[in-house]
Structure 1
Amino acid sequence: MSNTKFDLKKITSARLFMPLVCLAAVLLVNVITTPGFFKVSINNGVLFGYVIDVINRASELVILAVGMTLVTAASGGQDISVGAIMAVAGAVCCQILTGGELSVTEHAVPLVVGMLVGLLAAAVCGAFNGFLVAKLGIQPMIATLILFTAGRGIAQLVTAGQITYVRTDSYKVLGGYFAKCPIPTPVFVAIFVVIVVTIILKKTALGLYIESVGINGNASRLVGLNSTLIKFLTYVICGVLAGVAGLVASSRIYSADCNNIGLNNEMDAILAVALGGNALGGGKFSLMGSVIGAYTIQALTTTLYAMNVKADQLPVYKAVVVVIIVVLQSPVFKKWLAGFKTKKAVSKAAAEGGAN
């Protein structure tokens, strides 16, 4: 009996327990409200269904959440410009591929060149944010507010205020399907990003350095860590990952729609980090927690759409659910719950003692 209690306590205290419970709760609601939610079918050689849609549409958010987790852990702040950086990467890539034309059916330069230039533009944006935060010491939310405000304007300047179309099958692959594979390509891109970043964090000391700088930057500096460089690198990585997400989003619609690509995705990415059980003040982090948080948010979004909630009302319902989930995961609530359990146990013991 004692072993069972110990195991249960160990499970419930695990970092990924609450994120998984939150995801399970959202999926349980789907079972009740949408009986066919878990039904998966194959039409025209590709997988269809609500679950597939959740996994597919969450791909960009998963990629953003990975970058946001690193930035949050290292700097104790969030990058609210990632949505705009997505638009910049998509705009630069499409503009390079079209050679400045409004719409093309073949690339002006090789596809890989356009994508690399788009990612380079995203990296420059990340480096700009990193310089402001790491070198100049500007608060992350304020520093990234610059590109949050101006980023889409920069993307509009790149495309001359037009929606640039790349109507080629090869460009559609990243946001669509590869050959006869029934699984959407963005799913593989998200998995690849998570695996690569996880390997880098596990096989190098970067993960430990990020946590150390996030917990106490001054102490880390005293023991020889370059806190400025580590923070800077996290913002560059976040920018590059936002660029990857932007290319996927652009490929889905085979165009650079600067007004809509990545719109409001920065808020969902921050929520994914919070739902993943990560402290928004920096320090220790869980990459998988953020990934689970991203899928939870997308599952919630898909659920609300399935319940015929209008798009303009969606943020209200999402905010209510997210507030509940975040409160359940907050240290204050956990402390209160632990105190309540202790008080209840003491009262029960006192009652039993009085009876004896």
Structure 2
Amino acid sequence: MNNALNRVLANQYARRLMWPVLVLLVLIAVNIAVTGFDFIWPHVSDGRLSGAFVNILRRSAPLLLIALGMTLVIATKGIDLSVGAVYAIGAAIACQTIIDGTDQSAAGLIFRAVAIALVATAVIGAWNGTMVAYFGIQPIVATLILMIAGRGIAQLVTGGQIPKVQDSSPFTELGRGEILTVPVPIWIAAAVFAALVLLTRRTALGMLLEAVGGNPEASRLAGIRSKGITVLVYLVCGLCAGLAGLIGAANLGSADANNGGLWIELDAILAVVIGGTSLLGGRFYLLGTAIGVVIIGTLGDTIINIGLSDQWQFTVKAIVVFIVALLQSPEFRAWVFKPFKRRPAAPAAAPAEEVLAK
């Protein structure tokens, strides 16, 4: 029985991922046709892994972190619109703490700045979860409040300025460094992705998330602490947003409270939807979310490579999301492929002798 159920779930998982993978392969093929295999083939330059696709992965690392946290929130039938503001808060706290120190190259100062930023963003995420789980506020309203107020908080942290970290500070290695030639942001995003996959697919946490998202009341009656799980996923989402803000600030060497992570929450939601996770809660697909993030990142380069202006970016992104959403819809596929399906053969007529006998 369990083996049969696992096969059904595996087939469902493969079907969900098939269309995003197909779209990503088409985008890669278009770029290869225009720019050659250099687009996908990496190379090492000055001890650092480089290449167009590697750069896409490096730039997409902050979005992937936020989208992974968003996937867990959406799995519980929630939404977090504040991740862009939390991104800005994390970046502001880290950079302001560093420039307020006496020696920006001190390892202790960097560790303290990163720790304070991550703890603060995790607390903010837990606050969002508490508003939703214990006070019954709709997720879109609870997180919209912080989405509006969050950048104001970031400006209060920085005094309305843009704190700039020295290039010699080890903090910038979070966004510009490399380990074994691979950019550090890719390592961080891959580590968080692997940790969340292990937690949600190798423990009961994933099943509990799907139960809470599928039917919160039934899960509560079954003895599942749905409120605690809700707070947990919002905490993780805030933590991921704060970590993304640290990577973004380290890459730029500064924190812009107004523009840091601006509208990144929309790209994160798009990546989750492209990856096959339903906004109605229930089953979620972290690998699908990662593929959705890469699709969004590849789209930007594709638009430039085929000669379109930047003004086409949002239009083309909307078209791709629309196409993927249609391909993932069973009703749409049934409508499109209905003319090609074989109709069942009509039952053979009974012999005349049998008819007379009846």
Task: Give the structure-1-normalised TM-score.
Answer: 0.87
- Counting only pairs closer than 5 Å after superposition, residues 27-106 of structure 1 correspond to structure 2 as 27-35=28-36, 36-74=38-76, 76-99=77-100, 105-106=104-105
**CA-CA distance at 1:309 after TM superposition:** 3.7
- Counting only pairs closer than 5 Å after superposition, residues 91-240 of structure 1 correspond to structure 2 as 91-99=92-100, 105-107=104-106, 110-167=109-166, 168-178=168-178, 181-240=180-239
Gaps of 5+ in 2: 1-9, 350-358
| Identical pairs, percent | 40
Q: 1:253 to 1:218 in 2, by over 3 A?
A: same
User: Deviations 1:180-236 (Å, cap 9, x if unpaired)?
Assistant: x32211000011001111122233311111000000000000010111111111101
Distance 1:109 1:141 in 2: 38
Question: Which ranges of 4 or more aligned residues in structure 1 deviate by more than 6 Å?
Answer: none
Give 1:345's aligned residue: 342
Gaps of 5+ in 1: 1-8
Distance 2:72 2:122 in 1: 15
Give 2:274's aligned residue: 275
Task: Report if the CA contact (8 A) 1:98-1:108 is conserved.
Answer: no
Task: Report if the CA contact (8 A) 1:83-1:242 is conserved.
Answer: yes
Distance 2:257 2:12 in 1: 45
State the superposition RMSD in angstroms: 2.4
Q: Secondary structure at the match of 1:259?
A: coil
Task: Report if the CA contact (8 A) 1:172-1:252 is conserved.
Answer: yes
Task: Report if the CA contact (8 A) 1:82-1:265 is conserved.
Answer: yes
Task: Give the structure-2-normalised TM-score.
Answer: 0.87
**CA-CA distance at 1:319 after TM superposition:** 1.3
Task: Report if the CA contact (8 A) 2:48-2:178 is conserved.
Answer: no
Distance 2:265 2:144 in 1: 11
Give 1:304's aligned residue: 303
Give 1:332's aligned residue: 331
Name the aligned partner's letter for residue 147 of structure 1: L
Give 2:5's aligned residue: none
Task: Report if the CA contact (8 A) 2:104-2:110 is conserved.
Answer: no
Q: Say yes or no: does 1:262 pair with 2:261.
A: yes
Largest Rg, 1 or 2: 2
What is the number of equivalent residue pairs in this alignment? 336
Distance 1:290 1:172 in 2: 27
Which deviates the most, 226-235 or 256-265? Answer: 256-265
Distance 2:47 2:107 in 1: 31
Q: Secondary structure at the match of 2:175?
A: coil
Distance 1:149 1:339 in 2: 47
